[in-house]
Structures are given as C-alpha cells and as structure tokens.
Amino acid sequence: MKAAAFPRRRRLTTGRDYRRVFAERDRIPGRFFVLALAPGTDARLGLAVGKRYCRRAVDRNRVKRVAREWFRRRLVYLDGLEIVCSVRRGVTTASNDALYADLERLGRRAVQRAGAGSAARQDA
C-alpha cells in the first residue's frame, strides 16, 4: 500500500457498516467533527459530510481530504477502530490546520477510549 493510498479495505463502504458504527453509541464530539467509534479488526474510516453544514461541493471535498489525510497519517495508532467522521457547524470557515488539529485531539481521545475498552474486555 502506498503511503498516500486510501484502499477499499480501509473504508466503510456499506450502509450496514455505518449503521453498526452508529449503533455503538460511542461518540467523541469536537469543535468541527464528531467521531463515532466501534471496535473492528482493522482501522477503517467512513465520512459523513452532508450538505447541511457544507453547502458547496468544494467545501465538502476539502473537509473529506483533510479527514482522509489525518486517517492515513494515524493509521497505525487507530488499528482496531472503525470510525465514522461527521461534521459540525462552522467546519467550512475553519482552516485546514484547525480541522487537522481538531481531528488530532479527537483521535487521541479515541485511542484512549479504545485502549480502556479493550482492557476491560480482556479482563471480563
């Protein structure tokens, strides 16, 4: 896999995948994004960037690009997590650096929660 690739096996591709992640009810809200988390075998990312907060296609595409880049760079740390990344109000006016920083904070919290959750599952 090339460093900048986002292969199909790293994506949530079906409605069933998205519903399963949303059903877990483990969400981490940030300033511009909300991450929905579910345990999985590999790190996989789904993007839910609708027209409600990103009216223009160019804005939706920019937000998705930033989220995919963050995911590719943190892939090793996110192993075993399936993530759906949704947007919040104000995402279109934020800079790419601000979006990336928000995803970094959320990613650290996601890894902490996953670590605590996997330790609890192993003890049971």
Assigned domain for 69 exists: yes
Q: What is the CA radius of gyration of the chain?
A: 14
pTM of the model: 0.86
Assigned domain for 120 exists: no
Assigned domain for 116 exists: no
Q: Check pLDDT > 50 for residue 120.
A: no
Instruction: Give me the pLDDT at residue 25, please.
Output: 85
Residue 27 in 3-state DSSP?
strand
Number of folded domains in the chain? 1
Range of the domain at 44: 11-22+38-86+96-109
Give me the CATH number covering residue 80. 3.30.230.10
Could you tell me what percent of the chain has a pLDDT over 70? Answer: 90
> pLDDT tens digits for 19-71?
999 998 899 999 999 999 999 989 999 999 999 999 999 999 999 999 999 99
Assigned domain for 73 exists: yes
> 53-77 burial string, b = 16+ CB within 10 Å, else e?
bbeeeebbebbbebbbbbbbebbee
For tokens 């096996």, the residue is 9
Assigned domain for 5 exists: no
Instruction: Give me the pLDDT at residue 119, please.
Output: 44
